């Protein structure tokens, strides 16, 4: 990959006149934008004489050990900070040891989601512009200034899928849906200006996300380097003898049943309606544990309609998610869209076979028929596979071992090591 001939990133919001391109798709007044947002063209300098320590600035709206891309940045940052100087340009920074990572705080603009997104984009770009001695590592279309940008979602691809989903739209009020639509159209407008001719290197988190980039924006292949998400293999472990029973007792759930897991928010996007129908079709009477927040009443009503309300257990948002993985026999992931689900990595590391739709990340993680299955949208077929795991202990244990083995290929350290290689090429220090 040629990193030495980096062209400056194109900034679509360099001045008020250039911001007018967004007027047809945002429905509120825009504030005057600073005109000095064009990226620095100086290559960052190492912060020690032998070039072994680099200055790295991540750009992310929030940085913590929860969520999706927020957690990715926190995991990368805390590992890189043991060897380099790491700064996070963010609204908030939490869950990391004090003093390990420096925060460059960005003021949050009140208002609808699109305005908050645009405000962060402008203010983070202005702040990054001042860090001339730092390598800038953004997260998708959240900053006009970047040397590297991890792509956790191709907004254009996700938008095209979700806008066709009736259940996704039904989860929101008309006002919420309008806000979501405006926000995504604004993000797509930024993608259209950053991704076709990126000034830095784009780092999609899976092979599938890389294909979405090339298909949607014809991004030059030399500017795309997929680096997968990771998992903490010391935190997410298969259940020890007796642990499943202890966790079920704590949760107040009967030990005699087999439990599939559904984990996360955005329930319609992640396919909870489908997962409930799969459980309804199970001949083995499999139960479903739902961990995460969402419109619970809506899905309780669906379970009641199907006559399985006693087999669906809503546990809400959890801080003990690693314990939940140890009681499940499989993870159900019938998602409409993913980039590379952290939940899937955590579940596999915990020894859970994965039943998944064909979304990005599954081709790297799920070995069909060995560590799980990648299945079409047929609830009866999913139920058949789920029942096979419930009825055949040998098959379940075999798939559990293979799931853990496959997940062990994706420690966080793998991605961090590749980042350092690319950073080093960019610095040109030749360590």
Whether 299 and 374 map to the same domain: the answer is yes
For 336-377, the pLDDT digits (tens) are 999 999 999 999 999 999 999 999 999 999 999 999 999 999
Question: Residue 398: is it exposed, middle or buried by C-beta count within 10 angstroms (0-12/13-18/19+)?
Answer: middle
Mean pLDDT of 192-210: 94
Whether 73 and 217 map to the same domain: the answer is yes
Q: How many residues does the chain have?
A: 431
With beta carbons less than 8 A apart as the criterion, state whether 107 and 82 touch.
no
In a domain, 149, yes or no: yes
Greatest CA span in the chain, whole angstroms? 69
Please name the residues in contact with 191: beta carbons below 8 A apart, sequence gap of 6 or more: 140, 141, 154, 155, 156, 216, 217
Higher pLDDT, 199 or 73: 73
The DSSP call for residue 60 is -
Q: Chain-wide mean pLDDT for the chain?
A: 89
pLDDT score of 73 more than 60: yes
| CATH number of the domain residue 96 falls in | 3.40.50.2000
Whether 298 and 329 map to the same domain: the answer is yes
Please name the residues in contact with 326: beta carbons below 8 A apart, sequence gap of 6 or more: 237, 238, 239, 243, 244, 247, 350
Q: How confident is the model at residue 39 (pLDDT cuts 50, 70, 90)?
A: very low
With beta carbons less than 8 A apart as the criterion, state whether 109 and 116 touch.
yes
Whether 225 and 287 map to the same domain: the answer is no
What is the C-alpha to C-alpha distance for residues 76 and 80, in angstroms, rounded to an integer? Answer: 6
403-428 residues labelled b (16+ CB within 10 A) or e (exposed): bbebbeebbbeebbeebbebbbebbe
Whether 419 and 392 map to the same domain: the answer is no
Q: Residue 330 is part of which domain span?
A: 243-407
Q: How confident is the model at residue 191 (pLDDT cuts 50, 70, 90)?
A: very high
In a domain, 197, yes or no: yes
pLDDT of the residue at 8: 38
pLDDT score of 50 more than 70: no
- H-state helical runs in 65-170: 69-80, 113-130, 155-162, 166-170
In a domain, 292, yes or no: yes
Whether 298 and 317 map to the same domain: the answer is yes
The DSSP call for residue 221 is G
pLDDT of the residue at 47: 56
Whether 374 and 317 map to the same domain: the answer is yes
**C-alpha separations of 79 from 1, 10, 14, 102, 204 in Å:** 24, 30, 34, 14, 20
3-state secondary structure of 202: strand
In a domain, 9, yes or no: no
For 255-303, the pLDDT digits (tens) are 999 999 999 999 999 999 999 999 999 999 999 999 999 999 999 999 9
pLDDT of the residue at 51: 60
Whether 302 and 360 map to the same domain: the answer is yes
Whether 147 and 267 map to the same domain: the answer is no
Cα separation of the two ends of the chain:
17
In a domain, 403, yes or no: yes
Whether 122 and 250 map to the same domain: the answer is no
- H-state helical runs in 224-295: 243-251, 267-270, 272-280
Whether 167 and 270 map to the same domain: the answer is no
Token pair 């069909």 is found at 368
In a domain, 152, yes or no: yes
pLDDT of the residue at 52: 80
pLDDT of the residue at 98: 83
Mean pLDDT of 120-136: 96
- Number of domains making up the chain: 2
**Which of 67, 59, 144 is CA-nearest to residue 106?**
59
Mean pLDDT of 315-341: 95
What is the C-alpha to C-alpha distance for residues 277 and 271, in angstroms, rounded to an integer? Answer: 10
The tokens describing 113, both together, are 């989601």
In a domain, 162, yes or no: yes
pLDDT score of 25 more than 60: no
Q: Percentage of the chain surpassing pLDDT 90?
A: 83
Whether 398 and 418 map to the same domain: the answer is no
């Amino acid at each position: 990959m040629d990193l030495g001939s980096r062209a400056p990133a194109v900034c679509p919001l360099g001045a008020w006149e250039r911001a007018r391109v967004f007027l047809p798709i945002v429905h509120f007044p825009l504030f005057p934008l600073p005109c000095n947002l064009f990226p620095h063209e100086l290559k960052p300098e190492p912060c020690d004489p032998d070039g072994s320590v680099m200055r790295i600035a991540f750009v992310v709206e929030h940085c913590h050990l929860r969520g999706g891309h927020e957690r990715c940045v926190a995991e990368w940052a805390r590992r890189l900070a043991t060897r380099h100087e790491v700064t996070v340009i963010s609204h908030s920074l939490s869950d990391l040891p004090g003093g390990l990572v420096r925060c460059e705080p960005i003021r949050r603009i009140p208002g609808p989601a699109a305005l908050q997104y645009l405000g962060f984009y402008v203010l983070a770009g202005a702040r990054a512009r001042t860090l001339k001695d730092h390598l800038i590592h953004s997260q998708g279309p959240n900053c006009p200034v970047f040397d590297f940008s991890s792509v956790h979602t191709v907004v254009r691809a996700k938008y095209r899928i979700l806008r066709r989903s009736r259940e996704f739209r039904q989860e929101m009020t008309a006002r919420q849906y309008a806000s979501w639509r405006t926000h995504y159209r604004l993000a797509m407008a930024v993608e259209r200006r950053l991704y076709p001719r990126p000034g830095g290197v784009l780092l999609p988190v899976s092979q599938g996300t890389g294909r979405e980039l090339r298909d949607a924006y014809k991004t030059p292949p030399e500017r795309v380097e997929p680096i997968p998400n990771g998992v903490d293999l010391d935190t997410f472990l298969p259940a020890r003898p007796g642990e499943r029973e202890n966790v079920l007792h704590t949760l107040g759930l009967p030990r005699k049943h087999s439990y599939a897991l559904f984990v996360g928010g955005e329930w319609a996007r992640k396919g909870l309606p489908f997962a409930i129908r799969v459980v309804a079709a199970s001949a083995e009477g499999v139960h479903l544990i739902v961990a995460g927040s969402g419109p619970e009443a809506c899905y309780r009503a669906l379970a009641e309609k199907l006559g399985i309300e006693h087999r669906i257990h809503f546990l809400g948002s959890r801080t003990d998610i690693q314990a939940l993985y140890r009681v499940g026999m499989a993870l159900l992931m019938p998602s409409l869209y993913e980039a590379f689900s952290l939940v899937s990595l955590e579940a596999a590391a915990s020894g859970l076979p994965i039943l998944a739709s064909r979304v990005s990340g599954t081709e790297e993680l799920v070995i069909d028929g060995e560590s799980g299955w990648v299945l079409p949208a047929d609830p009866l077929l999913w139920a058949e596979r789920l029942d096979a795991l419930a009825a055949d202990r040998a098959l379940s244990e075999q798939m559990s071992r293979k799931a853990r083995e496959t997940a062990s290929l994706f420690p966080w350290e793998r991605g961090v090591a590749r980042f350092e290689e690319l950073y080093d090429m960019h610095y040109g220090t030749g360590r």
